[in-house]
Chain A
Amino acid sequence: MLISRHAPSVFSVTTRMLGPAADAEDVAQDTFVSAYKALPRFQFESKFSTWLYRIAVNKCTDVLRARRPGHVSLDSPEGEEMAAWPAVDDDTPHEELERIELASELERGIQALPPLYRESFVLKHVEGLGYDEMSDILGVPRDTLKMRVYKARTLLCRSLSHLAGVR
């Protein structure tokens, strides 16, 4: 199904833009519902996935604008927020544990990025898109996106520098 095919990408973007809270699923659902309503107007000028990403990013931006700085959802205590990420149990091998901890650090670093840097970094390096497609999605010139990705990478390198020996 179209939803099954694209849900992992859409949910990945909404989760990484908004954090793994209830908002992320709501926005992912909203993305598909909006796409469904607008589907007859989709003219195949871009890939369908590009169009979905665009809708998802715009909806995330709306939510982020509505949030006050430092807002924490009362519906998503910290322990529950991590429920969407891979679980760790006592049988997890040491290397796997390190990998998961490293991923968690990186996820936290991404969450801490300013939203404009975050969306550019996620699309470029997590979703693996090229600058041209990102430009289609975000409606921002290539060079601007490259600068945002550059800033994001620099900030993340700084925030993850204490892990240099672990990796």
Chain B
Amino acid sequence: MKNEELVQRFVDQELSAEERIQFVVALGRDQALRERVLALEQLVLDATKLPRPLVPEGFAARVLERTAAAKPAAPALRRTGTWGRLIDALWAPRALQWNLAGAAAVACVALIAVGAVVATGVRRPVASVADAPPAGSGRAQAPVVLVRLVVVQPDARVVQAAGDFNGWNPSRTPLEQTADGAWTVTLPLEPGRYEYQFVVDGDRWIGDPFAVEQSNDGFGSRNAVLDVRLAEASL
């Protein structure tokens, strides 16, 4: 195999173990090759470090303004069967489609989520002010409320949450698996309004159709809404 092809496959990290040995031997014998590989590796490293251009302020609002005036194309297919009709009814405004397995999983999610809310005795997943850290030494902190998110995804390998509370970065909020395929995380949140979704296996974003409140983002997707408030006793 020619050195040049090895170089490119090395940079792409596609060499087999044997090829890597062959390549390292070639590097040891050829200074020009070493310099070329170093330059390529540096280029790739620099490219990965390039800062993302800043999204202009008001970008999302301008898109929403334009999408509000546009109607999406008619759905190509309607679902059939009991679950399909149920999900269509629940998600009429939502353009993203669910398959039947996904629909069953979402129904389980909803049941468990409702159960969790009932068990904590609040209308929404909002904990009492007793969960707030005590006032004491150190700088003053805003009171926080512990909010538990629960989702059932028995076949998932990884479940994360993304929302206003973590900059929509799912890697910051992994859920822990519990029994029966449930996943959960407890978040300390300051009072406020938070939108969120769950992310299953890194690339499947799912909402919570049974959330007390949902937000249509004007883009065919629905986010669950958490309205985090302190208990009345603290007010």
A residues engaging B (CB < 8 A)?
1-5, 7-8, 11-12, 15-16, 20, 24-25, 28-29, 32-33, 35-44, 47-49, 84-86, 99, 102-103, 106-107, 110, 121, 125-126, 128, 131, 146, 149-150, 153, 156-157, 160-161, 164, 167
Contacting pair B66 A33 (CB below 8 A): yes
Q: In the assembled complex, how far is the CB of residue A141 from the closest CB belonging to chain B, in whole angstroms? A: 15
Q: In the assembled complex, how far is the CB of residue A44 from the closest CB belonging to chain B, in whole angstroms? A: 7
Assuming the contacts A37-B72, A37-B73, asked whether A164 and B39 have C-beta atoms less than 8 A apart, the reply is yes
Q: Which 3 A-B pairs have the closest CB atoms?
A: A125-B47, A39-B95, A40-B75
Contacting pair B39 A157 (CB below 8 A): yes
> Does B128 interact with chain A (Cβ within 8 Å)?
no
> Does B214 interact with chain A (Cβ within 8 Å)?
no
B residues engaging A (CB < 8 A)?
8, 11-12, 36, 39-40, 42-44, 46-56, 59-60, 62-64, 66-67, 70-76, 95-97, 99, 162, 168, 195, 203, 205, 217-221, 223
Contacting pair B40 A157 (CB below 8 A): yes
Assuming the contacts A39-B95, A157-B43, asked whether A29 and B51 have C-beta atoms less than 8 A apart, the reply is no
Q: Which of B42, B50, B60 contacts A103 (CB 8 A)?
A: B50
CA–CA, A2 to B59, complex, Å? 13
**Chain A interface helix/strand/loop/mixed:** helix
Assuming the contacts A156-B43, A157-B40, asked whether A36 and B54 have C-beta atoms less than 8 A apart, the reply is no
How many pairs, one residue from A and one from B, have CB atoms within 8 Å of each other in the complex? 139
Contacting pair A160 B43 (CB below 8 A): yes
Q: In the assembled complex, how far is the CB of residue B13 from the closest CB belonging to chain A, in whole angstroms? A: 10
Q: In the assembled complex, how far is the CB of residue B42 from the closest CB belonging to chain A, in whole angstroms? A: 5
Contacting pair A38 B72 (CB below 8 A): yes
> Which B residues lie within 8 Å of A156 (CB)?
43
Assuming the contacts A2-B217, A48-B205, asked whether A85 and B53 have C-beta atoms less than 8 A apart, the reply is yes
CA–CA, A16 to B139, complex, Å? 44
Q: Which of B8, B46, B70, B195 contacts A36 (CB 8 A)?
A: B70
Contacting pair B55 A7 (CB below 8 A): yes
Contacting pair A32 B63 (CB below 8 A): yes
Known: A11-B56, A85-B54, A102-B46. 11 other contacts (CB 8 A): A3-B63, A4-B60, A12-B52, A36-B218, A37-B73, A41-B76, A85-B53, A107-B50, A125-B43, A128-B48, A146-B8
Q: Which of A38, A43, A84, A146 contacts B53 (CB 8 A)?
A: A84
CA–CA, A11 to B49, complex, Å? 16
A-B contact pairs, 21 of them (CB 8 A): A1-B168, A1-B221, A2-B217, A7-B59, A11-B59, A24-B53, A28-B55, A29-B63, A35-B219, A36-B72, A36-B218, A37-B70, A37-B72, A43-B76, A48-B205, A106-B50, A125-B43, A125-B44, A125-B48, A153-B43, A156-B43
